[in-house]
Structure 1
Amino acid sequence: MDVMPLLLLVAGSAVIAAAGRRVPVPAPLLLVAVGLAVSYVPGVPDYTLDPHIVLPLLLPPLLHTAATDSSYLDLRAQLRPVALLSVGYVLFATFVVGWAAYLIVPGLPLTAALVLGAVVAPPDAVAATAVARRVGLPSRITTILQGESLVNDATAITAFRVALAAAVGEGATWAGGITEFLIAAVGGVGVGLVLMVPLQWLRTHLREALLQNTLSLLIPFVAYAVAEQLHASGVLAVVVVALCLGHRAWQVDFATRLQEEAVWKMVAFVLESAVFALIGLQLPVVLRGLGGYEGADVARYAVAVFLVVAVARFVWVYPATFLPRLSARVRAREGDLSWKGPFVIGWAGMRGVVSLAIAFSIPLTVHGGEPFPERDLLLFLTFTTVIGTLVVQGVTLPPLIRLLQFPAHDVQARTLAEANAQAQASRAAEQRLDDLLADERDALPAPLVDRLRTVLERRRNAVWERLGQVNPVTGESADDTYRRLSREMIGTEREVFVRLRDGRHIDDEMLRTLLRRLDLEEAAAYRETA
């Protein structure tokens, strides 16, 4: 097996994604564009998108990272709009796009057109999360988009299976489709809830951070595989497990959380980069099967399907947003709502690799042995829709959000809330320390007791200092200056340790021990600013 193409894909996409952080073009769009260009470079191999790899091997970890970064409480608060988008909109888009494709493409059977509708119906979890993170959307809109993208793949895959069964001649019925959807949805949620119990027990009882992180990497694949074996929704199983475990991440020891965060950031970066690059690299594979079609015709079909996909989302989003608000109870709970939020949600419906993976799983023939009707054209229309939404909507979304001028996050209010929370926690910790010191078994020398109290006091005062005055020369708060000086001191110690190792006064094992101690102190001294 030649692994060089895989290594080139991972390394190249990672380099491009890193470069995308330093240019105004969002990294996902840059990756797609470079993938399109590189696909025609002589000597570049074909990167065929295998649905048997993408769905069970790439989709679970991407969903897991998106779900653990989401808030269970926020998603529960936005359950109605999330459900209307992730279930209602996907089914609506399946029928609208399918019916439109049936009318637009001469000779395309309605069943095959509905297959296309199900394929392009779900906005992509990776694309939605990447864009929301980049442009800094209001929290409610971000929660709705993330929640939709986590669940809609399950709806789309089920709708695809039903439409495909009808297209290949398996005699699917409406009642059978609804039953299959309910079984997949309930089964997926059930599998997730059942798996959550032993997985959380393992996470809280394993004492080795290395074993904890190994388990963490296996969890999304196990949840997906178990659910699919039971003919339930693997997507929902992964999402439910990730949301529950993320909600209870505080129960895991600190070493596991630190390692887990670093590991999953790396996994998400590599997979997201490779996924978007793969989208662009599919162009030669898709075009190869279009030899029998006129260029002008397929271009017209592609533009028409893209426009239907874009317009259908707005047709669903605005009624789904404002019709429930006819209820006084809904209005009282949600407050005033302008047209801007639904407009951004409507425009943020980028499609991604899941649509392409599902499209490539369309079989070559139907049950009678005849070729699947217009399979190559369906692949092309899926590809152009994915590229169109990523480029047109992805490029214009950041300036659109700036143009709409959403209220900025209230940094002062958030800092005040953080300071109040820290003050309550510090008071509780101080009382606990007094209780412990009252027991003679916990007796400590006075300097160590003072050190405990000093660390607690600094942690309590650090947030309040961000609300106070700053250094007139540097513009830093006292806490920022403390961190900077602490870092300088730690850096000096680190240089001395290395110099002692180089002079053979200490060995490498001792150097690693000393450096790790400094690393932990530096991590404790600095809050994350990204």
Structure 2
Amino acid sequence: MNSVQLLLIVGVGIAVTAVARRHRIEPGWVIVVLAAGASFIPGVPRLELESEFILAVVVPPLLYSATRGASLASFGANLRAIIYLGVVTVVLTAGVLGWLSSLLLPSIGLAAAFVLGTVLAPPDTITTVSHGDEIGLPQRTTSILTGESLVNDATALTLFTIAIAAVNGEHATWGGGFLAFLRNASIGLGIGAAFAIVAMIIRKRLGNPTLETVLVLLLPFTAFLVAEEAHASGILAVVAAAFWMSVNLTLDPKHQYPGGYRTRLQEEQVWKTLDFLLETFVFAYIGLQLKWVLDAPGLARTLTAAGVLLVAAIVFRMVAVFVLFGRWSLRHRRRERRAARDVYYRQMREARNARRGGEPLPPPTLKENVLVGWTGMRGILTLAAAAGIPEHTASGAPFPGRDAIQAIALIVTLGTLLIQGTTIGWLARRLRFDLTAERAAADRMRERGHRIVAEAAAEPAPDVDASFEAQRLALGLAVRNHEVTEEVARELIEDLDLRQAARHT
């Protein structure tokens, strides 16, 4: 890819985004369609990137940025749903699509078919979550999808590694894969947290917003690459680093420092800009591959397999969501009925909930199940994994079905983006979620946060900066004491940062 192509992609992306947002259309999906059409223009060269480039340069900053806005408390509260979707559903999807691929493409063999299953398994919910307010997603649905996006990639990449090893003739088992996942996850999380701690220590001592921002921009790349070199999960290393940095530097009073507001304001705009550039590039890259996929040999069989797998991927996610969440809902109703008739059981449950800090969240509603089930768009990780399939096996033979796997990955990704991506907003509106109570609760929480800020501002302080620091300190303590949510605290801290910056201009 040359510099002229990159400039054209960015320039067209700016224009398309401006027009699409004016008409309340998701820009990424419009870019995919336009790029797919542009791939047929005579003389347009094919854009080919190494999988290492996509995984190491594109995925870490997008994942880090998405995690920055995630709530650690919401992640913990919805952990059960996140594990169902990010681990259990991904494993089951890989197995079902792998088995189906072996029937549709018997010539590539069972092991290579399961490679294709792992490539198609992880949905990309980050784009949906980033436009949750525009689409009209309930807050809990947004939290579940955000958490899923932070876990499912690591699960899929672990399965992908196991499947590749099976093609190479290595003895791979599900038990060994589970142990490998635990090892990769624990080491990856440790590496991410360690780099975040070091970055926080260095950041306080730089005293320059530009240098501090550059340091944070380097963090996701460094955590990812070091974790991958250690044969651990680079994805989870980035997630851990982002959680650790965003929670501590924004909400933890121990990690506040003078002038930090300038860096936070600058970083917010830098990440928004980087997100736009990378998302525009990713969607354009997906679309620009279409012509060469259709020129590949054995097109009829590949298109048939891709069509069947596309339908299977969409349908199976819906089924898995309803089965897993349905079992959860059934157990919840049984416990409620037992609590209603058994006083001793009810007292035990109330005591346990009191120790845990409150009643656990109930299972998602039927409408939430429908919406979560429909958010199964495949994205950049599917393409990166497909591109990362080696050309030859360990024995030196050509990797079975490599071209077909890459073509199917692209077609399924395009199909899910165009079928599910373009209709998710319509579906959310048709489901008519009643967000009145949720918004009222958010308003009450916001009012509580404003009172906490006002009370802190009323306390005497030696100067204006000290007063603003006291207000942030009060919000951080309020989050720790469960008086306000992380989301509200971040919103109010951003407002404080802007007002403090205005006092110094």
TM over 0.5: yes
Letter in 1 for 2:432: Q
Greater relative CO, 1 or 2 (CA 8 Å, sep 6+):
2
* CA deviation map 1:34-80 (0-9, x unaligned): 11011111232211132111000110000010000111111111111
Residue 393 of structure 1 corresponds to which residue in structure 2? Answer: 420
Q: 1:336 to 1:2 in 2, by over 3 A?
A: closer
Contact 2:317–2:376 (CA under 8 A) maintained in structure 1? yes
Aligned with 2:324 (options 314, 320, 327): 320
Give the SS at the match of 1:46.
coil
Alpha-carbon distance between aligned partners in 2 of 1:522 and 1:259, rounded to the nearest angstrom: 16
* CA deviation map 1:205-229 (0-9, x unaligned): 3311111111111010011011111
Residue 341 of structure 1 corresponds to which residue in structure 2? Answer: 368
* CA deviation map 1:61-113 (0-9, x unaligned): 00010000111111111111111211111111110100011122232311111
Tell me if 1:163 matches 2:144.
no
Residue 366 of structure 1 corresponds to which residue in structure 2? Answer: 393
Q: Which TM-score applies when normalising by structure 1? A: 0.78
Aligned with 1:285 (options 282, 288, 292): 292
* CA deviation map 1:390-413 (0-9, x unaligned): 111111111111111111255454
Q: Which TM-score applies when normalising by structure 2? A: 0.82
Q: How do 1:34-113 and structure 2 match up within 5 A?
A: 34-113=34-113
Residue 411 of structure 2 corresponds to which residue in structure 1? Answer: 384
Contact 2:136–2:428 (CA under 8 A) maintained in structure 1? no
Q: How many residues align?
A: 444
Alpha-carbon distance between aligned partners in 2 of 1:345 and 1:268, rounded to the nearest angstrom: 23
Alpha-carbon distance between aligned partners in 1 of 2:453 and 2:299, rounded to the nearest angstrom: 69
Contact 1:48–1:285 (CA under 8 A) maintained in structure 2? no
Alpha-carbon distance between aligned partners in 1 of 2:370 and 2:39, rounded to the nearest angstrom: 35
Residue 15 of structure 2 corresponds to which residue in structure 1? Answer: 15
Q: CA deviation at 1:194?
A: 1.9
Q: 1:4 to 1:201 in 2, by over 3 A?
A: same
Q: How do 1:225-244 and structure 2 match up within 5 A?
A: 225-244=225-244
Contact 2:77–2:361 (CA under 8 A) maintained in structure 1? no
Unpaired runs of 5+ residues, structure 1, are: 437-441, 443-447, 457-516, 525-530
Aligned with 2:448 (options 397, 420, 424): 420
Q: How do 1:405-484 and structure 2 match up within 5 A?
A: 405-409=432-436, 410-433=438-461, 436=462
Alpha-carbon distance between aligned partners in 2 of 1:220 and 1:520, rounded to the nearest angstrom: 27
Contact 1:131–1:394 (CA under 8 A) maintained in structure 2? no
Percent identity over the alignment?
Answer: 36
Residue 342 of structure 2 corresponds to which residue in structure 1? Answer: none
Give the SS at the match of 1:521.
helix
Letter in 1 for 2:392: T
Give 1 or 2 for the bigger CA radius of gyration. 1
Relative to structure 2, which stretch is displaced further, 249-258 or 331-340?
Answer: 331-340
Alpha-carbon distance between aligned partners in 1 of 2:434 and 2:96, rounded to the nearest angstrom: 34
Residue 299 of structure 1 corresponds to which residue in structure 2? Answer: 303
Tell me if 1:355 matches 2:359.
no
* CA deviation map 1:263-300 (0-9, x unaligned): 11111111111111111011133334x22x152x3332
Q: 1:177 to 1:261 in 2, by over 3 A?
A: same
Q: CA deviation at 1:336?
A: 6.9
Relative to structure 2, which stretch is displaced further, 6-15 or 65-74?
Answer: 6-15
Unpaired runs of 5+ residues, structure 2, are: 251-255, 336-348, 472-497
* CA deviation map 1:7-52 (0-9, x unaligned): 2223322332233212243111101101101111123221113211
Residue 263 of structure 1 corresponds to which residue in structure 2? Answer: 270
Alpha-carbon distance between aligned partners in 2 of 1:523 and 1:41, rounded to the nearest angstrom: 53
Contact 2:136–2:429 (CA under 8 A) maintained in structure 1? no
Contact 1:99–1:114 (CA under 8 A) maintained in structure 2? yes
Q: CA deviation at 1:519?
A: 11
Letter in 2 for 1:392: I
Give the SS at the match of 1:248.
helix
Contact 2:154–2:233 (CA under 8 A) maintained in structure 1? yes
Aligned-residue RMSD, C-alpha: 2.6
Contact 1:13–1:273 (CA under 8 A) maintained in structure 2? yes
Contact 1:127–1:352 (CA under 8 A) maintained in structure 2? no
Alpha-carbon distance between aligned partners in 2 of 1:301 and 1:279, rounded to the nearest angstrom: 19
Contact 1:26–1:134 (CA under 8 A) maintained in structure 2? no
Give the SS at the match of 1:417.
helix
Residue 479 of structure 2 corresponds to which residue in structure 1? Answer: none
Contact 1:128–1:146 (CA under 8 A) maintained in structure 2? no
